[in-house]
Amino acid sequence: MNSATQIKELVRQKYGEIAGQNPKDNKASCCGSGGCSDEVYNIMTEDHGTLEGYFPEADLGLGCGLPTQFAGINPGDTVIDLGSGAGNDCFIARHETGANGKVIGVDFTDAMLERARSNAEKLGYTNVEFRKGDIEDLPIEDDTADVVVSNCVLILVPDKDKVFKEIFRTLKPGGHFSISDIVISGELPDSIKSAAEMYAGCVAGAIQRDEYLGLIAANGFSNITLQKDRTIDVPDDILRQYLSDDALAEFKASGTGIYSITVYAERPATA
């Protein structure tokens, strides 16, 4: 799992499997990757059920936030969802854009795309489109979107800088994004960082909070705002799959923190 190609293939394989899993199993794991916990039910995910436009069949228990709740989507907007999965956030975004807007979901996993398109057909939505593509190289023209959203996906991407460049390119001048993702403070043990399940599980791929926010600023975005900041507690029964008792105690005493953040930023209206 050293190269970007290997990481992407791992994510593609795991999320292809997740597309066919029971959502209850997904929610008991880290980001649906496996390694289910007997200690808690909901590790990363937040309840989308209170949001208008929610469609239960599209909720696979993935994600780590509610970016569409904070995204400031207006009627008639064009919205891009990066890593759209079975379409959960796309359908909530579509409620906000209305029939005159457009929602484009991008995912590179065939099983997810198939499920998302089936869900859109059930809902009768003709203005929600799902495209196959890599979010490091979006299959979308420049200056397309009023709003970009993403829910716990950039953590799975080897080159996050490329993704922020693509977000900037595909946003209209004056457009903005709201993204939920996982970041860390401190250091993860090597045994966790090298574990494939913990990478697919939205933990091992996390970068430092300051580095994450720095990438956003370095790519020209303005008005960078943390909309939500929440501590993620990975249960001991999952951590013990990768750490000895002594290593677990050392990790817990180290003060390393794992956080779900929802961050907002704007592409400036003028250069």
As averages over each run of 10 residues, the pLDDT of the chain (271 residues) reads 76 81 56 52 70 91 91 98 96 97 97 96 97 97 98 93 98 98 94 82 88 98 97 89 92 93 96 71
- Check: CB of residue 84 under 8 Å from CB of residue 114: no
Kindly state the helix (H) or strand (E) to which residue 26 belongs, with its residue range: helix 23-27
Which pairs with CB-CB distance under 8 Å and at least 24 residues apart come from 75-79?
75/100, 75/101, 76/100, 76/101, 77/101, 77/102, 77/146, 77/147, 78/102, 78/103, 78/104, 78/144, 78/145, 78/146, 78/147, 79/103, 79/104, 79/145, 79/146, 79/147, 79/148, 79/149
Please report the pLDDT score of residue 264 as a whole number: 98
The whole-number pLDDT of residue 8 equals: 82
pLDDT at 29: 52
All domains of the chain in start order, with CATH: 4-266 (3.40.50.150)
Residues 117 and 65: their CA atoms lie apart, in Å, by 23
CB atoms within 10 A of CB 139: 12
Q: In 3-state terms, what secondary structure has residue 183? A: strand
How wide is the angle at C-alpha 28 spanned by C-alphas 82 and 131, nearest 5°?
Answer: 20
DSSP state at residue 208: E
What pLDDT was estimated at residue 65?
Answer: 92
pTM, entire model:
0.91
Single-letter code of the amino acid located at 59:
D
| CA dihedral (191, 195, 197, 198) positive or negative | positive
Is residue 104 within a helix (H) or strand (E), and if so which, with residue range?
A: strand 102-107
How large is the C-alpha radius of gyration of the chain?
A: 18
Identify the DSSP state of 94. Answer: H
